[in-house]
Structure 1
Amino acid sequence: MKYLGSKTKLLGFIDSVVNECVSTISKPSNEIVLCDLFSGSGRVANHFKNRFKIVANDLEYYSYATLENLLNNDPSTVYECQPIIDYMNHAMDDVEGFIFQNYSEAGGRTFFTNANAMRIDAGVSLVYELYGNGE
């Protein structure tokens, strides 16, 4: 069985190893490139983005989309999107769609919990509905 998981619990250890390595390099941290290979959800890249130039990659397209948002977005868009996020978090019913069926615990995978997978499917359904209405 293939196990996947966030490196969030390892960030303290990873940070200490990176700090030890950086202390031996005679360059300012803003000149150092940190590579987050097999980045997945981008937790490591996001953790270091304010200290280093980041190169992150993964084979999965979801990872590209996540990393593009985490590493290159304008934080002011959160304010603009907050009403939509609030609606999605509190007023939408969960949907057992593609993500639930293929990437959740119920689908035999460990990418997302069942609840999070259904919330993602609900969001995808909302986007298609809004697009269909020309919004």
Structure 2
Amino acid sequence: MKKIVMALFLVFLVSGCTITPVPDNLELEPRSDNQATVYVYTYKTGILNSGIDAPFVFDDVQLTKLNTGEYYKFLTNSGKHTFQFHPRGIFSKNVINIELKPSGTYFFRAVGGLTPYVYQIRDPEEIYDTYTKIKAGYYEYSEVD
């Protein structure tokens, strides 16, 4: 009996260490060779920050307002761009300057509150997890409400 329990334990231990591969191209929708796909999202934080729709500004144009647990997706031309989240924040004016590559897919997480900021997600597993949650409806599209 001890051998069976030990064998099952080893099987679970080894199978728990597998890594989910990240697809090379997450986008299935067509886009031109010169465009990049950008996702920006906020974690679900419950009632924290839920009373404030924070503006997401791209190249000095407000594209949307994000609330807790929402995302926004858009296509843009490749090249140098500027991102801002909640530029009217009390203590922060977070600005990201980035060069988007043609046919690239980019993920940014926005965090609200008194010191709002946005940053690029680079970890492949986190990108895959976020993309899976978006496609499954875990995050709500920002223009729904």
Q: Point out the structure with the larger strand share.
A: 2
Q: Point out the structure with the larger helix share.
A: 1
TM range (shorter): under 0.3
TM-score by length of 2: 0.22
TM-score by length of 1: 0.23
**Pair member with larger Rg:** 2
Higher relative contact order (CA 8 A, sep 6+): 2
